[in-house]
Structure 1
Amino acid sequence: MGNAGDVKFQYLAAIFVNIASISFGAFCGWPSASFLELSSKDSPLETGPLTHQDQGNVASVLCLGGLLGNIFFVWLAERIGRKGSLLWTTLPCLLGWIGIPYARNPAHLIAARFLGGFGGGGGFGVIPIYVAELAEDSVRGVLGTFLILTCNVGVLLVFVLGYYFNYATVAWMASTLCIAFVVCFWFMPETPQHLLQLDKLQEAEQSLRYYRNIRARVSKELSEELQLELHRLRTPEKVEPEDDCIEDNKNRLSWADFTEPTARKACLIGLGLLLSNQGCGCFALLNYTAVIFEASGASMPPTLAAIMVGVIQLLGTYASTLLVERAGRKPLLLISGVGICLSQCAMCAHSYLKSTGYDTSGYDWLPVVAFSFMLFIACWGLLTLPFMVVAEILPPKIRSTGMMMIMSVLWMISMTTIKCVPLLIANWGMHGTILMFACLTLCGTLFIAICVPETKGKSVEQILASL
Structure 2
Amino acid sequence: MSSAGGDKYQYLAAISVNIITISYGAFCGWPSASFLELSAEDSPLETGPLSPKDQGWVASNICTGGLFGTLLFTWLSEKIGRRQSLLWMALPNLLGWVMIPFARNPMHLNIARFIGGAAGGGCFTVIPIYVAELASDNIRGVLGVFLVLTCNAGVLLAFILGYYFNYAQVCWIVSTLSFVFVGCFWFMPETPQYLVKINKTEEAEHSLRYYRNIRSNPAKELSEELQFELQKLKPTEKPSADGEEIEAETTGVTWRDFAEGKNRKAFLIGIGLISFNQLCGCFAMLIYTAVIFQQAGSSLSPTVAAIVVGAIQLLGTYASYVLVERLGRKILLVVSAVGIGLGQSAMATYSYLQVLGIDVTSFGWVPIAGFSFMLFVAACGLLSLPFLVISEIMPQKIRSTAMMITMTVLWVISTCTIKMMPIFTETMGMHGTVYMFASLSFAAAVFIAIFVPETKGKTIEAIMASL
Calculate the TM-score normalised by the size of structure 2: 0.96
Equivalent residue, structure 1, for 2:439? 439
Q: Distance in 2 between matches of 1:9 and 1:54?
A: 45
The answer to whether the aligner puts 1:376 opposite 2:390 as a matched pair is no
Q: CA deviation at 1:251?
A: 2.6
Moved more, 360-369 or 3-12: 3-12
2:199 is paired with a residue whose SS is: coil
Change (3 A) 1:374 1:225: closer
The answer to whether the aligner puts 1:38 opposite 2:63 as a matched pair is no
Q: CA deviation at 1:33?
A: 2.1
Equivalent residue, structure 2, for 1:412? 412
The answer to whether the aligner puts 1:361 opposite 2:332 as a matched pair is no
Moved more, 95-104 or 225-234: 225-234
Q: Distance in 1 between matches of 2:234 and 2:285?
A: 42
Moved more, 392-401 or 245-254: 245-254
Over residues 193-247 of structure 1, what are the superposed CA-to-partner deviations in whole Å (9 max), with x where a residue is unaligned?
0000011011101000000000234343539765521333467xx9955586632
1:421 is paired with a residue whose SS is: helix
Change (3 A) 1:76 1:110: same
Q: Distance in 1 between matches of 2:111 and 2:181?
A: 23
Q: Distance in 2 between matches of 1:48 and 1:176?
A: 29
Equivalent residue, structure 2, for 1:22? 22
**Residues 205 and 226 of structure 1 are in contact (CA less than 8 Å); yes or no, is this contact kept in structure 2?**
no
Equivalent residue, structure 1, for 2:389? 389
Q: Distance in 2 between matches of 1:85 and 1:437?
A: 36
The answer to whether the aligner puts 1:186 opposite 2:162 as a matched pair is no
Q: CA deviation at 1:365?
A: 1.2
Equivalent residue, structure 2, for 1:246? 245
**Residues 267 and 402 of structure 2 are in contact (CA less than 8 Å); yes or no, is this contact kept in structure 1?**
yes
Equivalent residue, structure 2, for 1:70? 70
2:101 is paired with a residue whose SS is: coil
How do residues 298-337 of structure 1 correspond to structure 2 at under 5 angstroms?
298-337=298-337
**Residues 204 and 233 of structure 2 are in contact (CA less than 8 Å); yes or no, is this contact kept in structure 1?**
no
The answer to whether the aligner puts 1:52 opposite 2:52 as a matched pair is yes
The answer to whether the aligner puts 1:465 opposite 2:465 as a matched pair is yes
Change (3 A) 1:361 1:139: same
**Please, which runs of 5 or more residues in structure 2 have no aligned partner?**
none
Over residues 301-334 of structure 1, what are the superposed CA-to-partner deviations in whole Å (9 max), with x where a residue is unaligned?
1100000000000000000000000000000001
Q: Give the ranges of 4+ consecutive aligned residues of structure 1 lying more than 6 Å apart after TM superposition.
A: 2-5
**Residues 30 and 159 of structure 1 are in contact (CA less than 8 Å); yes or no, is this contact kept in structure 2?**
yes
1:214 is paired with a residue whose SS is: coil
Matched to 1:358, the amino acid is: I
Change (3 A) 1:3 1:354: closer
The answer to whether the aligner puts 1:425 opposite 2:425 as a matched pair is yes
Matched to 2:412, the amino acid is: M
Matched to 1:231, the amino acid is: Q
Over residues 12-47 of structure 1, what are the superposed CA-to-partner deviations in whole Å (9 max), with x where a residue is unaligned?
000000011111101110111211111111111111
**Residues 190 and 207 of structure 2 are in contact (CA less than 8 Å); yes or no, is this contact kept in structure 1?**
yes
**Residues 3 and 214 of structure 1 are in contact (CA less than 8 Å); yes or no, is this contact kept in structure 2?**
no
**Please, which runs of 5 or more residues in structure 1 have no aligned partner?**
none
Q: Distance in 1 between matches of 2:286 and 2:259?
A: 37
Equivalent residue, structure 2, for 1:452? 452
Q: CA deviation at 1:339?
A: 0.6
2:416 is paired with a residue whose SS is: helix
**Residues 145 and 320 of structure 1 are in contact (CA less than 8 Å); yes or no, is this contact kept in structure 2?**
yes
Equivalent residue, structure 1, for 2:213? 213
Equivalent residue, structure 2, for 1:120? 120
Change (3 A) 1:2 1:357: closer
Q: How many residues align?
A: 465
Calculate the TM-score normalised by the size of structure 1: 0.96
Equivalent residue, structure 2, for 1:162? 162
Moved more, 340-349 or 222-231: 222-231
**Residues 238 and 245 of structure 2 are in contact (CA less than 8 Å); yes or no, is this contact kept in structure 1?**
no
Equivalent residue, structure 1, for 2:9? 9
Equivalent residue, structure 2, for 1:231? 231
Change (3 A) 1:413 1:95: same
State percent identity of aligned pairs: 62
Over residues 375-423 of structure 1, what are the superposed CA-to-partner deviations in whole Å (9 max), with x where a residue is unaligned?
0011110000000000000000000011000110000000111111112
Change (3 A) 1:241 1:465: farther
1:318 is paired with a residue whose SS is: helix
Equivalent residue, structure 1, for 2:282? 282
2:380 is paired with a residue whose SS is: coil
1:379 is paired with a residue whose SS is: helix
Q: Distance in 1 between matches of 2:165 and 2:143?
A: 33
